[in-house]
Amino acid sequence: MSHKHKSTNWFRNFWKALGPGLVTGASDDDPSGIATYSQAGARFGLDTLWTALFCYPLMYGIQEMCARIGIVTNRGLAGIVKEYYPKWVLYLLIGFSCPAIILNIAADIAGMGAVANLIFPQIPAAIFSIAFTLLLLYFTIKLSYNRLARIMKFICLVLLVYLVVPFLVKQDIAAILKATFVPHIVFSADYLAVLVGVLGTTISPYLFFWQTSMEVEQFPEKKKHVVLDKFILPHMKKDIRMGMFFSVLVMFFITLTAGTVLHQHGIYEINTVQDAASALLPVAGNLAYILFAIGVIGISFLAIPVLAGSLSYIIAETFNWKEGLNKKFHEAKEFYFVMIISTLAGLIIQAYGVDPVKALIYTAVLYGVTAPVIIGIILHICNNKKIMEEYTNKPISNFLGIVTLLLMGLSAVLLIWMLG
């Protein structure tokens, strides 16, 4: 067998092995995430690069637990909470998650339309927002799960443009390596706020629901233990590892772009993705500007369906509706109606001129309050033998989960205190 053929087979097998973990990780780098990472880099240069390495094990730990819950129980996270916990816990999650997800959709739609308008200024941003929203809804409802999953995987590749943008200007590799592996913490309120924002953006509650339900979609039948142990769980862990690595890699390069291109040219204030894209134009040129904008638009086509889909799974499991992207519209009308209504609600919110910066702040508060509660529930589920049988948490999973829980709880307190 030729070397070229072996390489082709390796890549094909590697690409085939990637699934929900890759989509989850990539969707975490949505326009709100891009704005947060750009703000971190613009304000503090290279001083927050280390957060990418720090966040990786935490992201892997919590998403692996969510995936394992879905695979072992064949139930979504909301369905498990409904069955094993008091009703008020489920209603609390819905009460905080639904507004946060809709506001996140609104902010992403606004960012996508605004960035497209920067490329084609003769067309109003609102027209782009409406067109993109309708296109997203059409394909999400029309396509089968398998086709939609394949398209989502290829959309993830759009984020690779961010690996190119920083190198369109000269870089100090030694300084980058030092900032990556040697944390430099600035003891100030602004720096603390950025750290809270980065942690809240990378560990978002809607991804917990999405990951669990996607594993159920991918492995819909009850599995025998030997199949779980030898094939499905190892496959899932590899997928999560690669998906979370991809997410923090993109996070790293967006922060690097802002930290070296914007910060070094005296641009310290970035609030939205269009701010970041606009700021790149005069200091890094047209190519950096266009690549950055394309990345925002491309990932929005992934992130918005993930956000709306997460909400659909939560509501459908709460009311025992038929659910799943693997079902056609007429087979799960209520599930798809939630997707339609939540996406259109996001469009309406941004159309009425709601400040996207304020929308992201409100989203961060709601996510911040909800995340510690959901993480605590996930840890409890994963240590419950009645639910998870012999697939309960190993010590390393509990360690990562507890660290994440404590950090998210502290972040929630700090966020409320800073906004108060």
Task: Count the neighbouring beta carbons within 10 Å of the beta carbon of residue 168.
Answer: 16
**Does residue 12 sit within a domain?**
no
- Which pLDDT value is given to residue 336? 92
Question: CA-CA distance, 20 to 146, in Å (whole number)?
Answer: 11
Question: CA-CA distance, 297 to 30, in Å (whole number)?
Answer: 9
Q: Which two tokens stand for residue 84?
A: 């094993």
Long-range contacts formed by 347-350: CB under 8 A, 24+ apart: 347/106, 347/109, 347/129, 347/130, 347/133, 349/102, 349/103, 349/106, 350/106, 350/107, 350/109, 350/110, 350/113, 350/129
Q: Provide the residue type at 381 as one letter.
A: I
**Does residue 147 sit within a domain?**
yes
C-alpha distances in angstroms, 240 versus 56, 235, 248?
Answer: 11, 9, 12
**Does residue 328 sit within a domain?**
yes
Query: How would you write the pLDDT of the chain (420 residues) with one tens digit per residue?
Result: 455 555 556 656 666 666 777 778 778 778 888 888 888 888 888 899 999 999 999 999 999 999 999 988 888 899 999 988 888 888 888 888 888 889 889 888 888 888 888 888 898 888 999 998 998 888 888 877 667 767 777 776 666 777 776 776 777 889 989 999 988 888 787 888 888 888 888 888 888 998 998 888 877 666 656 566 667 788 888 889 988 998 898 889 889 888 888 887 787 787 777 777 777 766 556 777 777 777 778 888 888 888 999 999 999 999 999 888 888 888 889 999 999 999 999 899 877 766 666 677 677 777 878 888 899 999 999 999 999 888 899 999 999 999 999 998 888 888 777 766
**Does residue 403 sit within a domain?**
yes
**Does residue 73 sit within a domain?**
yes
Element at 18 (helix H, strand E): none
Question: CA-CA distance, 345 to 352, in Å (whole number)?
Answer: 11
Which structural domain range is residue 278 located in? 18-419
- Which pLDDT value is given to residue 224? 58
Reduce the DSSP state of residue 73 to 3 states and report it.
helix
Task: Count the neighbouring beta carbons within 10 Å of the beta carbon of residue 242.
Answer: 17
Reduce the DSSP state of residue 26 to 3 states and report it.
helix
**Does residue 3 sit within a domain?**
no
We report the CATH number of the domain holding residue 292 as 1.20.1740.10
**Does residue 6 sit within a domain?**
no
- Which pLDDT value is given to residue 111? 83
**Does residue 89 sit within a domain?**
yes
Residue 14, Cβ density class (10 Å: 0-12 exposed, 13-18 middle, ≥19 buried): exposed
DSSP letter string, 153-185: HHHHGGGGGGGTGGGGS---HHHHHHHHHS---
- Which pLDDT value is given to residue 379? 95
Q: Is the dihedral of CA 205, 111, 267, 190 positive or negative?
A: negative
How many independent structural domains does the chain possess?
A: 1
